[in-house]
A = this chain, B = another copy of it.
Amino acid sequence: MLLSKSCIYGLRAALLMASTASNDYISIKEMSKNLNISFHFLTKVLQQLTAANLMESHKGPKGGIRLAKPVHEIALLHIVIAIDGYELFTKCVLGLPGCGVEKPCPMHAMWSEKKEKISHMLESTTLFELAEDVKNGKLRITANGDLDFLNLN
Contacts and interface: CB of A to CB of B under 8 A. Distances in A.
Nearest to A19: B106
Interface stretch (A20-28, A45-53, A60-68, A94-102): A94-102
B1 A87 contact: yes
Interface in A95-118: 95-98, 103-108, 110-111, 114, 117-118
A153 interface: no
Interface in A1-59: 1-3, 5, 8, 11-12, 15
A81 interface: no
25 contacts: A1-B1, A1-B91, A2-B93, A2-B111, A3-B94, A5-B95, A8-B93, A15-B106, A76-B107, A94-B141, A96-B143, A98-B143, A103-B140, A103-B145, A104-B138, A105-B139, A105-B140, A105-B141, A106-B133, A106-B134, A106-B141, A107-B130, A114-B114, A114-B117, A117-B117
